[in-house]
Structure 1
Amino acid sequence: MPSREAYEGQKGDKSLVQKGKREANQEEILAAALGMRMGPQKPPATLWQPLKLFAYSQLTSLVRRATLKENAAGPKYDKVHNFKVHTFRGPHWCEHCANFMWGLVAQGVKCADCGINVHKQCSAAVPNDCKPNLKHVRKVYSCDLTTLVKAHNTTRPMVVDMCIREIESRGLKSEGLYRISGFSDSVEEVKMAFDKDGEKTDISVDAYEDINIITGALKLYLRDLPVPIISYDAYPRFIEAAKIDEPEKRLEALREAIALLAPSHSETLQYLMVHLKRVALHEEHNLMNVENLAIIFGPTLMQAPDMDAMKALNDIRYQRQVVELLIKKEDVLF
């Protein structure tokens, strides 16, 4: 019967053999990733280590690219990538064409929202299927609306939902709702809290007794959007609709204009209009009718796409008319 020492020695030899086989298998896989042929003479260790780094990088890139293609069969996304020139550390492969990114600096571009890496020349060919990742989306205010809702997997921004729920629970009868401004420092505090804590932000009466602070935070969020709720590309159609005299044709033109909005914008606009209609129903207490609300929210929800001051001034009355119609007819427009 073999001694314990001999048994342990045999066991150790088997482990070394198995480890050697695993490493050899890994090396064959890595060589295949690099397009190399493994002959009887293995590359020296000094060359093999950097080759392994290259191979791991390429494999990671190819797996990610395959995953993106697999996901492409699912629901279509309507968000463009937010590409920025990027300097990559170590070897990188384009996740669109799978070719190597050459150079030491600024080898390609990286999406600031989802993290995809591609050549500059490939960026124009990448589909508008950006799926934002929370680790890349670090703020709530001043963040593109579609980016925010996709990152949080919601239909509307949590700021809009949370603020409106709080306002409707305790503020509908507050005089001058949305017209009276909350203390600016407190509004800024709410903004910073949303940017830091997101859905965990406390905007209850215990934290902010004055409801005008919450309405101020909501209006600030809407004003700070890089693309307004009524987006720049749809803006002219809304203004044209407001200029139509015949009521039925005007409503039809508004429906067509709403159809131009991205789903997240349309959903948020509808939710907001339903809320403002509820506010107007309490006009006896809050003294805020549909016309007053439209004056406040017209410039907040709509901004002229160009910087022509005179045109923007002339559009103010049409902005008011658009929002007024959206509030009054939300049940037939959406």
Structure 2
Amino acid sequence: QAMPPGISSLVRRAALTHNDNHFNYEKTHNFKVHTFRGPHWCEYCANFMWGLIAQGVRCSDCGLNVHKQCSKHVPNDCQPDLKRIKKVYCCDLTTLVKAHNTQRPMVVDICIREIEARGLKSEGLYRVSGFTEHIEDVKMAFDRDGEKADISANIYPDINIITGALKLYFRDLPIPVITYDTYSKFIEAAKISNADERLEAVHEVLMLLPPAHYETLRYLMIHLKKVTMNEKDNFMNAENLGIVFGPTLMRPPEDSTLTTLHDMRYQKLIVQILIENEDVLF
């Protein structure tokens, strides 16, 4: 039977806080056909891998070596190895958080901390673009230095560079924060005219997001709510932020300009609803 609304998110929240030092997000292995030099045994069934070339598959995130047949039965327990994860941007979100053993991508935490420390009153926050070359610099700093990246005011006095770097992080994700799998369900929910039913529908789809995506979205919405609380200084309300973040957080699975244009108002509405109701939804 269905849980009453609100209960499921409470259960999920309890699960998230339950084990703070180790985030048990499930992750599938990223298997690629591999040619092993010298004799090799499958780490799943412990049997020999026959043949001279392409004897099996290796997970490029954690290095697990198994038979091609066995790869279908391996549980979703990939623990990415930092040595194998070469970059921070353009890396799958769950892979990144598992490699760093964090709850959310550290880019998100570090950028939001910086923006809340010195940018909440900045006019047109998130709408005004920062200088592209400087945004690229920030991206390279994260890829190179990870959580030690310095994005402080003495290097980047313009806060729009930090907001730009955060938006770029979301745009560069191979799977958007609002995943391809849930995209059409969110759009359908946005089309419901009754506000209460719409909120209920949005909540149901939120529960389908992978935990790392859900947690990232939750954290971002709490932040964007703070941005709207400073509207009299920054002139950014939930609708303005929806226009900026709609296409940043969600992209249609099939890349068609027509779909994108058609869906833009619903993308905006989804983000607007998430910001305005973050306390109820998450």
- Compute the TM-score of the two structures, normalised by the length of structure 1: 0.76
5+ long unaligned stretches in structure 2: 1-21
Paired position in structure 2 for 1:181:
129
Q: Residue 324 of structure 1 aligns to which amino acid in structure 2?
A: Q
Task: Please show how residues 280-295 of structure 1 align to structure 2 within 5 Å.
Answer: 280-295=228-243
Paired position in structure 2 for 1:112:
60
**Larger Rg: 1 or 2?**
1
Paired position in structure 2 for 1:310:
258
Given that residues 23 and 98 in structure 2 are in contact (C-alpha distance below 8 angstroms), is that contact kept between their aligned partners in structure 1?
no
Would you say 1:214 and 2:155 are equivalent positions?
Answer: no
Given that residues 56 and 65 in structure 2 are in contact (C-alpha distance below 8 angstroms), is that contact kept between their aligned partners in structure 1?
yes
C-alpha distance in 2 between matches for 1:116 and 1:176: 47
Paired position in structure 2 for 1:159:
107
Given that residues 76 and 129 in structure 1 are in contact (C-alpha distance below 8 angstroms), is that contact kept between their aligned partners in structure 2?
no
Match of 2:89 among 125, 141, 145: 141
Alpha-carbon deviations, 1:203-225, whole Å to 9, x = none?
00111111111001000000000
Task: Please show how residues 22-41 of structure 1 align to structure 2 within 5 Å.
Answer: none
C-alpha distance in 2 between matches for 1:157 and 1:333: 21
Alpha-carbon deviations, 1:89-125, whole Å to 9, x = none?
2111111111111122211111011110011122122
Alpha-carbon deviations, 1:151-210, whole Å to 9, x = none?
111100000000000000000111111111111111101101100100100000111111
Would you say 1:245 and 2:193 are equivalent positions?
Answer: yes
SS at match of 2:223: helix
C-alpha distance in 1 between matches for 2:149 and 2:169: 14
Q: Residue 62 of structure 2 aligns to which amino acid in structure 1?
A: C
Question: Cα 1:85–1:233, aligned 2, differ >3 Å: closer, same or farther?
Answer: same
Match of 1:278 among 218, 226, 240: 226
Among the aligned pairs, what percent are the same residue? 68
Cα displacement (A) at 1:77: 4.5
Given that residues 61 and 85 in structure 2 are in contact (C-alpha distance below 8 angstroms), is that contact kept between their aligned partners in structure 1?
yes
C-alpha distance in 1 between matches for 2:133 and 2:262: 33
Cα displacement (A) at 1:309: 2.5
C-alpha distance in 1 between matches for 2:23 and 2:113: 30
Paired position in structure 2 for 1:331:
279
C-alpha distance in 1 between matches for 2:216 and 2:24: 20
Alpha-carbon deviations, 1:226-250, whole Å to 9, x = none?
0000001111111111011111111
Given that residues 81 and 130 in structure 1 are in contact (C-alpha distance below 8 angstroms), is that contact kept between their aligned partners in structure 2?
yes
Given that residues 77 and 130 in structure 1 are in contact (C-alpha distance below 8 angstroms), is that contact kept between their aligned partners in structure 2?
no
Paired position in structure 2 for 1:79:
27
Given that residues 23 and 101 in structure 2 are in contact (C-alpha distance below 8 angstroms), is that contact kept between their aligned partners in structure 1?
no
Higher relative contact order (CA 8 A, sep 6+): 2
Structure 1's consecutive aligned runs of 4 or more residues displaced over 6 angstroms after TM superposition are: none
5+ long unaligned stretches in structure 1: 1-73
Paired position in structure 1 for 2:7:
none
* CA-based RMSD: 1.3
Paired position in structure 2 for 1:227:
175
Q: Residue 188 of structure 1 aligns to which amino acid in structure 2?
A: E
Match of 1:322 among 262, 270, 273: 270
Cα displacement (A) at 1:76: 6.0
**How many residues matched?**
261
Moved more, 240-249 or 297-306: 240-249
Alpha-carbon deviations, 1:285-315, whole Å to 9, x = none?
1111111110000000000011232222111
C-alpha distance in 1 between matches for 2:170 and 2:279: 22
Q: Which has the higher helix share?
A: 1
